[in-house]
Structure 1
Amino acid sequence: MMYNLYIERDSLMHRLDPRVKIFSSLLGIVAVVLFNSPSALLVIFLSLVISLRFLAKITLNEQWKVLKPLTPLMVITMVIWPFILKPPLFGLFVGLGYALRLGSLALITFSLLLTTKQRDLILGFIKLKMPYEIGLTLTIALRYIPTLYALTLTIMDAQKSRGLELEKGSFLKRAKNTVPVLVPLIISSIKTAHELSIALESRAFGAGKKRTFLYEIRMGKKDYIALLLVLLLFAVAVIFRYKFGIGYIKIY
Structure 2
Amino acid sequence: MMYSLYVEKRSLLHALDPRVKIIGTLVFGTIGLMIKDPVISPLIFFLTLLGFKILGKIDFRTQFKVMKPLIPIFILTFISWPIIVKPVEKGVLIGIAYTFRIMGITLIAFGLMMTTKQRELIRGFTKLGLPYEIGLTVLIALRYIPTLYSLAKNIMDAQRSRGLELEKGNFIERSRKMVAIVIPLLVISIKTAHELAIAMESRAFGASKKRTHLVDLKMRKSDYIALTVIVIVALLYLGIKFSLLPHLL
Q: TM-score, normalised by structure 1?
A: 0.92
- Following superposition, the deviation at residue 161 of structure 1 comes to 2.7
User: Could you tell which deviates more after superposition, 8-17 or 161-170?
Assistant: 161-170
AA partner of residue 48 (structure 2): L
Partner of 2:85: 85
How many residues of Structure 1 are paired with residues of Structure 2 in the alignment? 248
Partner of 1:183: 183
- Following superposition, the deviation at residue 120 of structure 1 comes to 0.4
Displaced runs of 4+ in structure 1, greater than 6 A? Answer: none
- Following superposition, the deviation at residue 41 of structure 1 comes to 0.6
Equivalences for residues 47-86 of structure 1 within 5 A: 47-86=47-86
Residues 1:168 and 1:120: Cα distance change in structure 2 (over 3 Å)? same
CA distance in 1, matches of 2:68, 2:130: 32
Partner of 2:124: 124
User: Could you tell which deviates more after superposition, 65-74 or 127-136?
Assistant: 65-74
Please report the RMSD computed on the Cα atoms of aligned residues, expressed in angstroms.
1.7
Contact 1:240/1:247 (8 A) holds in 2: no
What secondary structure is seen at the aligned counterpart in 1 of 2:29? helix
Structure 1: which 5+ residue stretches go unaligned? none
1:245 aligns to 2:249 (yes or no): no
What are the superposed Cα offsets for residues 170-192 of structure 1, whole Å, 9 maximum, x if unpaired?
Answer: 43333332222111111111111
CA distance in 1, matches of 2:178, 2:23: 38
Partner of 1:228: 228
- Following superposition, the deviation at residue 69 of structure 1 comes to 2.5
CA distance in 2, matches of 1:218, 1:209: 23
Partner of 1:167: 167
Determine what percentage of the aligned residue pairs are the same residue: 49
AA partner of residue 142 (structure 1): L
Contact 1:34/1:241 (8 A) holds in 2: no
AA partner of residue 156 (structure 1): M
Partner of 1:148: 148
Q: TM-score, normalised by structure 2?
A: 0.93
Contact 2:18/2:124 (8 A) holds in 1: yes
Contact 1:35/1:241 (8 A) holds in 2: no
- Following superposition, the deviation at residue 194 of structure 1 comes to 0.8
- Following superposition, the deviation at residue 44 of structure 1 comes to 0.9
- Following superposition, the deviation at residue 98 of structure 1 comes to 1.4
- Following superposition, the deviation at residue 230 of structure 1 comes to 1.0
AA partner of residue 13 (structure 1): L
Residues 1:246 and 1:233: Cα distance change in structure 2 (over 3 Å)? farther
Structure 2: which 5+ residue stretches go unaligned? none
CA distance in 1, matches of 2:15, 2:170: 50
1:98 aligns to 2:93 (yes or no): no
- Following superposition, the deviation at residue 52 of structure 1 comes to 0.3
Equivalences for residues 20-59 of structure 1 within 5 A: 20-59=20-59
User: Could you tell which deviates more after superposition, 176-185 or 192-201?
Assistant: 176-185
User: Could you tell which deviates more after superposition, 232-241 or 164-173?
Assistant: 164-173
- Following superposition, the deviation at residue 245 of structure 1 comes to 1.2
AA partner of residue 129 (structure 2): K
- Following superposition, the deviation at residue 246 of structure 1 comes to 4.1
